Amino acid sequence: MSAEVLAEIKEKFEGDWKVERSECFEDFLREVGVNFLIRKMASLAKPTSNVKVDLDEERITVAMNAGFMVKADTYKLGEEFETDHMGSKSKAVVNYEDGKLVQNNTPADEKIKPTKATREIVGDEMLLTMYIGDVVCKRYFKRLPPKQ
């Protein structure tokens, strides 16, 4: 991966973000197989996300903290890694395409549908769009001020 691409990702995405609003999030969770109670809790939560780019190691870390659930993935662009979501293991690959971080997940359990997620900067927001089957979910994040 070129240093220029990672520097661009760092410039655009690095920092702390907070969910402002979502579209079809509960539908997405239902399709993924999340139980009713967790879907309701997740729908009410306003999680924060932290994106960190390590230029020396050429690694990107995306962490999500919803209070009741904390999850982080660290990866190199274009390299497969294992991820776990609500106890469901997947193989994932993230690429940088047209200014977007594009993640494709292939679940280990063949009964679970594959998912795709894209992160892009639209205006002053980070838009996370998640796809599973016919469901498209959008989550809009606002950048938080840097910690002092």
Comparing CA positions, the residue from 90, 91, 81, 96 lying closest to residue 10 is 96
What does the pLDDT read at residue 34?
85
What does the pLDDT read at residue 12?
96
Tokens of 104: 């494709």
- Domains in the chain, start-ordered, CATH in brackets? 3-143 (2.40.128.20)
* Phi, psi for 85 (deg, rounded to 5): -130, 115
pLDDT digits (tens, 9 = 90+) for 94-130: 999 999 999 999 988 888 889 999 999 999 999 999 9
What does the pLDDT read at residue 86?
63
Q: What is the pTM of this model?
A: 0.92
Q: Rounded to an integer, what distance in angstroms lies between the CA atom of residue 60 and that of residue 52?
A: 6
Q: Cα torsion for 77, 78, 81, 85, to the nearest 10°?
A: 70
Q: Is the pLDDT of residue 1 over 70?
A: no
Q: Is the pLDDT of residue 47 over 90?
A: yes
* Phi, psi for 57 (deg, rounded to 5): -90, -5
pLDDT-based confidence at residue 41 (cuts at 50, 70, 90): confident
What does the pLDDT read at residue 38?
86
pLDDT digits (tens, 9 = 90+) for 48-99: 999 999 999 999 999 999 877 789 999 999 999 999 876 678 999 999 999 9
